[in-house]
Amino acid sequence: MTEITDTTQVPEPGGSSEGNRPRRGGKRGKKGPFGRLGLFYRQIIAELRKVVWPTRHQLSTYTSVVIVFVVIMIGLVTVIDYGFTEAVKYVFG
């Protein structure tokens, strides 16, 4: 059985922390602006490779669902707008 030990050192209150300076920046701290920009784009490419892209059939299905939904919402807003217009005309004449 493995024994787990706590190796975290907590500084004493009021003591100096000269020897325990936190690290600055890690990998990003040692590179210039172009190096950081290159790292950023490499990370973008790595994340895009993880994406599960839809097939052509799924894409056409999703697109048609969105178009039908938008047309229905346009119709609903048009009917409500027309109803409010007629109500305002009736009230204010």
The residue behind tokens 């009736």 is: 90
> Would you say 60 and 68 are in contact if contact means Cβ atoms under 8 Å apart?
no
Q: Which alpha helices (H) appear in 33-55, and where do they start and end?
A: 33-50
26-60 per-position pLDDT tens digit: 555 567 889 999 999 999 999 999 999 999 999 99
Mean pLDDT of the region 66-80: 98
- 59, two tokens: 């894409």
Tell which wins on pLDDT, 19 or 87. 87
pLDDT at 31: 76
Residues whose CB falls within 8 Å of the CB of residue 36, separated by 6 or more in sequence, listed in order: 28
Going from N- to C-terminal start, the domains of the chain cover 55-92
> Would you say 39 and 28 are in contact if contact means Cβ atoms under 8 Å apart?
yes
Mean pLDDT of the region 70-74: 98
Work out the percent of the chain whose per-residue pLDDT is above 90: 62
The residue behind tokens 């990370």 is: 43
